[in-house]
Every structure is written in C-alpha cells, then in structure tokens.
Structure 1
Amino acid sequence: MERDNFRPGPLAEVARVPAGDRWDLVFVRDLRHPPEKVWAALTEPDQLGEWAPFLASRDLGTPGEATLSTVDGDRTFEAPATVVRAERPSLLEYTWGDDLLRWELAPTGPGTRLTLRHRIEKADQAPIMAAGWHLCLDVAGHLLDGDPVGPIRGGEALDFGWARLRDAYAERLDS
C-alpha cells in the first residue's frame, strides 16, 4: 500500500478498567494471522521497528532488561523496560518506563485475537493511548499481510487521523 493512501480501519473493542491506583486500557484486535506470526511482530526488533511506537534494543521474546526508544521525528527518547513474562506465542508482558503492557494472543481459527492491557497512570490517558495503538496495530496488520506502510509515530500520527481516533475512543470509553 502506498503510505499516502493509508487510512485507519474501524474502531477496536476497548475498555478502561481500574487497576489499583492506576487504570488499564484494554484494547482488542482480531488479526488474520496465526499467533506465532503475531508473536514475531511483537518481539523481534526488526519487525517492531516497522510498526511499534518504539524501537527495541533486543528481542523481547525472553525475560530480562531492555531499552525501548520512542521515536518522534528526529528525536528519540529512551526508556528502561523489563520483559516480565514471555510465554511464546500466547503471553508477553513488559514494563515500558512506568507503564505495564500485557499482550495476550489467542488463536481464532486461522487468526489471532490480540488483547493488549496497557496500564496507565490516569483514566484520561486511555483515549490517547487507544488512538496511538489503533494506528500502530493497523500498520502492524499491513506488515503481517506483506504490504508494509512503514511506522507512523509521534507527531506524524496527526497526518493519519490520530485526533479523530482519539475523539472517537473518548466517546466510546465514556459511554
């Protein structure tokens, strides 16, 4: 797909649930690919570099320390990360700075139901994170389909409908 023609797909299934003194954004997406292929996209640095909001210093498929570098244009911001659980190809959990990300992969016939639980500090961050993950996972879907569009990160997301997605998720999460 030509990058200029990329448009985000329909809204995902989302929820915002209390998690102690923080919140979990629960973001669910069905993918047409088997868990093993999705797992590779979630863990391998080369694939993460094509869709994720960060670059990974190492393969995330094993527990241990890592660095996740957020990219926004020419700027890069490093954050410490720790892979807490890596149960190939069904569960990946790691910290990213102060946040906790838990990726659950469940087979659905030929595909995968991907559930992301992103622990955030404040409830009002949920629509912002949902919009960002929406774009990232749409890009990941294209990558998995063999039709990469390249990563959409940071301020560039505004050119691809991020604000509209944020507003739509805010409405969905408040209802």
Structure 2
Amino acid sequence: MDHSTFKPGPLSEVNARASADQWTLVFVRTLRHSPTKVWAALTEPAQLAEWAPFTTDRDLGSRGDAILTMIDGEVAEPTSATVTRSEPPTLLEYTWGTDQLRWELATVEGGTRLTLLHTLKDRDWIPKIAAGWHICLDVAEHLLAGNPVGPIRGNEARDYGWDELNHAYADKLGIPATDLPDSEKS
C-alpha cells in the first residue's frame, strides 16, 4: 500500500458532551457509500484491518465478546471488547476497554451520514481521539472507494497530519490542546 499521496481531508463536524464523570466525542462524517457498504467496513475483520486503529478477532456485526488489538508499529496491545448492540446496517455499539463506541449510520443523498459517539473518561483526550478517527476514516474512505492506502496507525499517524489535526480539533472544540504523553511518542 502506498501512503505517499495520503493527505487528511477537512475537519469533520464534532462536538464534546459531558455526562457525569465521562465525556463523549460526537464525530460526524458523510461517506459516499451505502450504509450496507459502510457497515461491512465497520464490522468485517479484513476491512477493519485496512483502516481502523485496531484489528479484531471476529466479525463485530453480532453481539458478544471480542478482542480489539491496537497496533502501533511492532507493538500490538489486545484489549477486551463487547459488542452490546448490532442493528445492521444502522447501529453498532461496543465497549473498547473502558471506552464506549456507538456508530450510527443514516442514508443521506449520495451516501451515509456516519455519527460516531466515543465516550471516555478524560476530556483532554477528546481532540486526540478526534484526530485519530479523522485519519482512520479518511483511510476508510479510500478503502470503500476501491483505492486502499493501507492503515495509518499509532505514531505513524503523526507523519500524516495527526499533530495538526489534534490542535485544530482542540481549537474547534474549545478544549486546550495537549500533546501525547511521553510514553505515547516515538
């Protein structure tokens, strides 16, 4: 796969919501593909391996336990997950460690309006998470269009605009920008 021509697209529609001791990133993107095609990219292990920040040990299209393995270069970190809702091709919910992800797909003219609600504990991570999903979903769009560029994960994302996206989303969300902890940097 060739990353040499990859450039991230414009910022997505985002907001952040507080609820009790958690924060939810609401990340909205319109993809030029049907909900059925987008659903397959969100659930099928072979497709997830081409764009997501993790690989999975099974199809995520049905309820139950799974292992999502974060990939960062040569480091693979398995994390427990549980698919709690699966309503193809419109709604997918699962836990990822302590985080909760909810993918909503709606048919719109020209494709699918994808809304990701990613709930986590630490507000400072919201822009970082937005930057990561931004790059992942740009890569997914290439895959869905039949022009795969291969996954861009972990510290490698910093070579493809992650730092700039992190700061841009921090500004857009009104959350002070912070860099990755030293343990997350290469």
Per the normalisation by structure 1, the TM-score is: 0.98
State the number of aligned residues: 175
Tell me how far apart the structure 1 counterparts of residues 48 and 116 of structure 2 sit (CA, whole Å): 15
User: Which structure 1 residue ranges, 5 or more long, are not aligned?
Assistant: none
Residue 127 of structure 2: aligned partner: 127
Tell me how far apart the structure 1 counterparts of residues 23 and 130 of structure 2 sit (CA, whole Å): 13
Tell me how far apart the structure 2 counterparts of residues 40 and 24 of structure 1 sit (CA, whole Å): 24
Tell me how far apart the structure 2 counterparts of residues 86 and 18 of structure 1 sit (CA, whole Å): 25
Tell me how far apart the structure 1 counterparts of residues 89 and 45 of structure 2 sit (CA, whole Å): 16
Percent identical residues? 59
Return the offset for 1:19: 2.2
3-state DSSP class of the match of 1:151? coil
Tell me how far apart the structure 1 counterparts of residues 54 and 2 of structure 2 sit (CA, whole Å): 22
Per the normalisation by structure 2, the TM-score is: 0.92
Residue 66 of structure 1: aligned partner: 66
Equivalence map 1:109-128=2 (5 Å): 109-128=109-128
Tell me how far apart the structure 1 counterparts of residues 110 and 35 of structure 2 sit (CA, whole Å): 9
| Structure 2 residue 163 is the aligned partner of structure 1 residue 163 | yes
Tell me how far apart the structure 1 counterparts of residues 2 and 10 of structure 2 sit (CA, whole Å): 19
Tell me how far apart the structure 2 counterparts of residues 105 and 83 of structure 1 sit (CA, whole Å): 16
1:61-95 per-residue CA deviation (whole Å, 9 max, x = no partner) reads 00000000000000100000000000000000000
Tell me how far apart the structure 1 counterparts of residues 80 and 2 of structure 2 sit (CA, whole Å): 34
Return the offset for 1:101: 0.2
Return the offset for 1:124: 1.1
Residue 32 of structure 1: aligned partner: 32
Tell me how far apart the structure 1 counterparts of residues 101 and 19 of structure 2 sit (CA, whole Å): 13
1:77-119 per-residue CA deviation (whole Å, 9 max, x = no partner) reads 0000000000000000000000000000000023000000000
Equivalence map 1:99-118=2 (5 Å): 99-118=99-118
User: Which structure 2 residue ranges, 5 or more long, are not aligned?
Assistant: 176-186
Residue 94 of structure 1: aligned partner: 94
1:112-147 per-residue CA deviation (whole Å, 9 max, x = no partner) reads 000000001111110000000000000000000000
1:17-42 per-residue CA deviation (whole Å, 9 max, x = no partner) reads 01221000000000000000000000
Residue 46 of structure 1: aligned partner: 46
Equivalent pair of 2:69/2:79 in contact (CA under 8 Å) = yes
Residue 4 of structure 2: aligned partner: 4
3-state DSSP class of the match of 1:4? coil
Tell me how far apart the structure 1 counterparts of residues 144 and 158 of structure 2 sit (CA, whole Å): 23
